[in-house]
Structure 1
């Protein structure tokens, strides 16, 4: 939105050319989303508390979680609003990658909102139901996959890139569609499973988004992508604005979500954030790097799969409780210790992911 305005102003005065620089607009997106979050946060928390939209807690969970009952949730609306507004202001809205990223983020947010609404307003413990939720996710992810496949302009845009190897590239062809679907839906649900402790999901999400912003900027630049031997994706650099906005909104939300949390994000936040990371990783052809950087999300998801499989097959549980962050709580770790240690692991994994830029 502002890109067009500053483009017109630049014709009148050269000073406004500075706003054509991607790095400056990314910084502006971070600050805009952060300020929006900090300003809207207290208002939204009061509204949620007034309407008694509060958190429910599993009866078989850690005893310390009973104090969280009634804490306002659906705070993901704060993240969603901040990210989308900042992106609309600072990104080039004619860019197809920006448009599909906004599409995925928004509609996964709608799915999460409806699920939260059913649980918290209509008091239906099943929410919209796992089958309907999965169906909604599948429709949005499939549309995104088809759009990216049929608008691809070069073969590299539908190839699988293997990290740490500069010459290992697999042309996927039509298999690009199921891979994209799996990445978007899988990442969405993985972040959703991770969102169980104060600040546990939002910090790794912001870290990964920041790293993906670097990949977007470099992939969209002919010189840098050629030097680093990474896919050159024309137009991908603009998605860095969205990623930057996500970082800013995440930091703003953390202000209220840090232990002890004043608000939780709910499905509206976790589903949309996870899907956003997934679609951005697909755009810059870094699905496997996302698997590395989002290792915490992978760990949480695998712990649930293993727990369910073990219990159904052998009648025994591997962990005291899944997802795995609850296992450590039941072992006696204080909640802040679990959170910060998972943050540290996420930081290390994100750095490893960034290292793939040079180690090829």
Structure 2
């Protein structure tokens, strides 16, 4: 919305700053942050009143969680998504189709997560939305978004994926690009969802990934910078940096309340939506493989669950003491703060490695 003020620059030169993505990204960060700070306490109070006993805690989880986390309300993703959406609508160029595609995925996944959280709270069970139905809806939303992305660029690049460390190497998947892109989005959403198990564990790596992909989107959408770095230029994706900024601001505000001991949990409402958003941005910028590096912590969490389930079904034995892997380290004796902070460090290192691929060609 405020982007349109830049069109008045010929009459008021000071308004020219509204044309700059960097300025509007900063504005989105501050707007989302202030929104969550101002309305966060009211949202928490309302959720605590309506949810009563709060988020159900897994009985087979770490015993300490039954004591320290019982009664804490969930659906904190509403705070993040509200701040992020308000900031995006205010600062982003709403004429940019990538803005609406990514927002559509974020809101769609957020609604699925909200329904899942609602079922858990009302049934007082950690089992929510049925797995097959949930995945079906996620793939439907992701598939529509992937198809929309293919319409925004010329073939064959619109259905191709790029590879890090290589200047010109691409692989044209043709019609298979849509299911591949949908898998990336759905996989990212559920990987972040699995990571959200300790106070502050998911939101900080999400912000790190959002900051990284904000830079990726800005560079990919800029013809000069993308040519200099020899990465594939995707016109219009620079605007996604504003959305990433909005996530960072909303995430910082949420972390204020989610810091241990958490006053509220993100829930599937937030984790599924934010993961889906990261996946959608990776697809739009043609950096799907780089997402696996920058979001390597999320990949590790998801793989730990897959390995644990497969091993138990095939051999009757567990590889980890408990999955996802952050609970495994709790069982090894790490305190919650040790797990969270060490995983943050891993997220930072992986983000730096992922960003290094932009230059190492």
TM bracket, shorter-chain basis: over 0.9
In structure 2, how many angstroms separate the alpha carbons of the residues matched to 1:124 and 1:343? 29
Q: Which moved more, 1:233-242 or 1:10-19?
A: 10-19
Between the aligned partners of 1:142 and 1:222, the Cα distance in structure 2 is 28
Q: Give 1:124 shift.
A: 5.7
Q: Quick one: distance in 1 between partners of 2:337 and 2:343?
A: 10
Q: Which residue of 2 aligns with 1:40?
A: 39
Following superposition, the deviation at residue 183 of structure 1 comes to: 0.3
- Give, in angstroms, the shift of residue 153 of structure 1: 2.9
Identify the residue that residue 85 of structure 1 maps to in structure 2: 86
SS of corresponding position for 1:200: coil
If the length of structure 2 is used for normalisation, what is the TM-score? Answer: 0.97
1:98-139 residue CA offsets vs partner (Å, 9 max, x unmatched)? 110011001110111111111113546532211221111111
Write the mapping of 1:194-343 to structure 2, written as runs, cut at 5 A. 194-343=195-344
Please name the residue that 1:17 is paired with. 16
User: Following TM superposition, where does structure 1 have runs of at least 4 consecutive aligned residues deviating by more than 2 angstroms?
Assistant: 7-12, 121-126, 150-158
Tell me if the contact between 1:157 and 1:285 (Cα under 8 Å) persists in the aligned partners: no
User: What's 2:28 paired with?
Assistant: 29
Residues 57 and 126, structure 2, Cα contact 8 Å, conserved in 1: no
Q: Distance in 2 between matches of 1:44 and 1:310?
A: 41
Contact 1:109 1:272 in 2 (8 A): yes
Give the 3-state SS of the residue equivalent to 2:171 in structure 1.
Answer: strand
Larger deviation: 117-126 or 78-87? 117-126
Deviation, 1:353, is 0.5
Of 148-157 and 236-245, the range deviating more from structure 2: 148-157
Corresponding position: 1:135 with 2:136:
yes
> Structure 1's 230 and 8: CA in aligned 2 closer, same or farther, altered over 3 A?
closer
Which residue matches 1:59? 59
SS state at 1:46 partner:
helix
Which SS does the other structure have where 1:16 is aligned? helix
The equivalences for 1:126-165 within 5 A come to 126-153=127-154, 155-165=156-166
Give the C-alpha shift of residue 12 in structure 1.
3.1
Is residue 9–residue 16 contact of structure 2 (8 Å, CA) maintained in 1?
yes
Deviation for aligned residue 1:258: 1.2
- TM-score normalised per structure 1: 0.97
Q: Could you tell me whether the CA contact under 8 Å between 2:139 and 2:186 is conserved in 1? A: yes
Gaps of 5+ in 1: none
- Cα RMSD of the aligned pairs, angstroms, is 1.2
Q: Cα distance, 1:320 vs. partner?
A: 0.5
- The structural deviation recorded for 1:155 is 3.2
* Alpha-carbon separation, structure 2, partners of 1:192 and 1:276: 12
Mapped to 1, the partners of 2:264 and 2:35 lie a distance apart of 16
Distance in 1, Cα, partners of 2:151 & 2:285? 16
**1-structure distance, mates of 2:221, 2:231:** 10
Aligned-partner SS, 2:31:
helix
Aligned to 1:175: 176
Shift of 1:11: 4.2
Aligned residues of 2:191 and 2:302 also touching (Cα < 8 A): yes
> Contact 1:157–1:233 at 8 Å: present in 2 too?
no
Q: Does the 8 Å CA contact 1:74/1:113 hold for their aligned counterparts?
A: yes
The answer (yes or no) to whether the contact 1:191–1:297 under 8 Å persists in 2 is yes
